[in-house]
Structure 1
Amino acid sequence: MDELPEDLTELLEEYARHLRLGRNRSAHTVRAYVGDARSLLLHLCARAADSGVGEIDLSLLRSWLAEQGAGGAARTTMSRRASSARTFTAWLTRTGRLPVDPGPRLASPRPHKVLPAVLGRDQAREALTAAESGAAQHDPIALRDRLIVELLYATGIRVSELCGLDIDDVDRERRQVRVLGKGNKERSVPFGVPADQALESWLRYGRPLLAATDSGRALLLGRRGRRLDPRQARTVVHEVVSAISGAPDLGPHGLRHTAATHLLEGGADLRVVQEILGHASMATTQLYTHISIDRLRQAHDQAHPRA
């Protein structure tokens, strides 16, 4: 069965409205939660065509997750879907559609901890040099692309945060950007001289040539003068990094990982890195200590005669 009965379709629409109204969830998160709820309801209907949401219980949740695993879903995906199912059943219970919430008893598959790929210092330097040389002729797109790479690496901000920056969010005198992060939490992040030079070139020679009537105060613009879309920024990073010999395939989030790793390798305090990245939990930031230790171990194994 690929289609839900009309009453369940209406239920999903109501659930989507609820998700959009609460907790400042992104459109991407709402789509994922609704997609998981739809998958669960399809699983319910497949068990019995006339089943209602009041019949969702722990055994159904477990069989749905097992089906995901049998279909090849990764443990991290299954863990996210378990969390999504708990959110859905909690809402069903609050709205009186379920007498008892089975969600809290649904265990999440523990995801394997995968260390993200990062650039080495030399690779990062090569990528930034390539972006700078590409902007030497003052082509507005090349100037913008250089700024994208410079700011992402200099600040470690998320690509959505980068694309959400307005001109007024940049304090060049203090060399810092004001960022609106997850949960509408605001933080200030410093950047260095190379990023400031890229900003100067973009604001003087690049942005004025792309600016249009609907540009507003957006810092970064697309070819048609509108605020830069995060997908365009991802393409820029992939193209710059893919030209570096031996570099892993990574996008803006990879530059964020790289910035955090290089900060810690340079001696930055873990809490400082947490503040820069805008992590709510120190546990998230501690992942980068594992990356640093792993890189040290690789260097030791390659260089020490008795490794």
Structure 2
Amino acid sequence: MRLTQAISQFLQTVEHQYGYSAHTVRAYQNDLDRFAAHLKTKHAQTLENVATITLEIMRDWLWELQEQGKSTATISRNIATLKSFGKWLEERELVEINPATRLNTPKKQHTLPRVIGEKQIENLLINLRQAALAGEAAAQRDYAILELLYASAIRVSELVGLTDSDINLAEYTLRVTGKGNKQRIVPFGKPAAAALKLYLEAGRLQLASKNSAGLASSNIFLGNRGGALSSSGVYRIVAKHLKSLPGGGPQGPHTLRHSAATHLLNGGAELRIVQEMLGHSNLASTQIYTHVSTERLAQTFKQAHPRA
């Protein structure tokens, strides 16, 4: 089987049979398209028959990524893609054995996520609220996005997937669809509800009117041209507002998710509750936030305790 055909069938399988999210499917496609581009340049014969793809050929591509200065996280993700693709090839007997089985994933760099202080976020949201009350549609949307991301700690992919039926303003809850198409109910507070109400009653209507195609989108958050807002669009919006805050590190939507989770734990929330709110299937994924809280505790101890 030709490589392009195999990639196409693999993507259909992970989307329709495995139920992976559109975001995950796109990530697989991007990785495999880059892998195919590498093979076209260095190992053109493999394009005609996937059975000729070997462990050495895969390692050659990964080495090239390393030479290009790609991060450990990027290389690890590409290895995971190759392993999933190789397993699929083996299950369909397109190769004798999964050539990616022996690929070694680089050790993760254990860096703590960036966390923004509670007072900093409070001041940021106050400024965004003032801008939103001035009446500009984009400002109202941005205010609602940052309030909701911080209040609910949802992922950016979950945010852009929200539709009219997913928000319950009366009960202050969201119905979000997370990884593996798993749905969960997430609470949010009165400030986020007020920001959403302002946006839904004014800003969203203004943005929807700019859709030249004349098609009404059921998505809650819209772009400046009236279409559904993309994950990259949310990233740009959040980064624009976070860049003025002190401290280095990531400035995207995940920073608000990290901050919300850490602030919940600092406020006394149980780890299991935070796990459920974040949509983590494994408690170990949530425990990184306890490390952040512990680090802050240690810093406070050193600064405040007379015998530190």
**Which of the five TM-score ranges fits, normalised by the shorter chain?**
0.7 to 0.9
Q: Distance in 2 between matches of 1:232 and 1:45?
A: 32
Q: Quickly say closer, same or farther: Cα 1:214–1:66, change in 2 above 3 A.
A: same
8 Å CA contact 1:44–1:56 kept in 2: the answer is no
Structure 1 partner of 2:261? 260
8 Å CA contact 1:24–1:184 kept in 2: the answer is yes
> How far does residue 254 in structure 1 lie from its aligned partner after superposition?
0.8
Give, as a single letter, the amino acid of the residue that structure 1 aligns with 2:256: L
Instruction: State the Cα RMSD in Å.
Output: 2.7
The more displaced of 203-212 and 145-154 is: 203-212
The more displaced of 280-289 and 22-31 is: 22-31
* Structure 1 unaligned blocks of 5 or more: 1-5
> How far does residue 43 in structure 1 lie from its aligned partner after superposition?
6.2
Is 1:227 aligned to residue 228 of structure 2? yes
Q: Distance in 2 between matches of 1:46 and 1:235?
A: 34
**1:129-151: per-residue Cα shift (whole Å, max 9, x none)?**
11111112222222221111111
- Paired residue secondary structure (2:287): helix
Q: Distance in 2 between matches of 1:49 and 1:141?
A: 48
Q: Quickly say closer, same or farther: Cα 1:88–1:120, change in 2 above 3 A.
A: same
**1:74-105: per-residue Cα shift (whole Å, max 9, x none)?**
22222222221111211222222211224333
Q: Distance in 2 between matches of 1:272 and 1:265?
A: 13
Q: Distance in 1 between matches of 2:275 and 2:39?
A: 42
Q: Distance in 1 between matches of 2:297 and 2:57?
A: 46
- Paired residue secondary structure (2:184): strand
Structure 2 counterparts to residues 7-86 of structure 1, below 5 A = 7-37=2-32, 40=35, 50=45, 52-86=49-83
Structure 2 counterparts to residues 228-243 of structure 1, below 5 A = 228-243=229-244
Q: Distance in 2 between matches of 1:225 and 1:31?
A: 23
Structure 1 partner of 2:147? 150
TM-score, scaled to structure 2? 0.85
- Paired residue secondary structure (2:301): helix
Q: Distance in 2 between matches of 1:139 and 1:266?
A: 34
Is 1:177 aligned to residue 178 of structure 2? no
Structure 2 partner of 1:134? 131
Structure 2 partner of 1:112? 109
Structure 2 partner of 1:295? 296
- Number of corresponding residues: 302
Q: Which one of the candidate residues 123, 138, 142 is aligned to 2:120? A: 123
* Structure 2 unaligned blocks of 5 or more: none
8 Å CA contact 1:218–1:227 kept in 2: the answer is yes
The more displaced of 219-228 and 107-116 is: 219-228
8 Å CA contact 2:158–2:176 kept in 1: the answer is yes
> How far does residue 120 in structure 1 lie from its aligned partner after superposition?
0.8
Q: Share of identical aligned residues, percent?
A: 41
TM-score, scaled to structure 1? 0.86
Is 1:280 aligned to residue 271 of structure 2? no
> How far does residue 26 in structure 1 lie from its aligned partner after superposition?
3.9
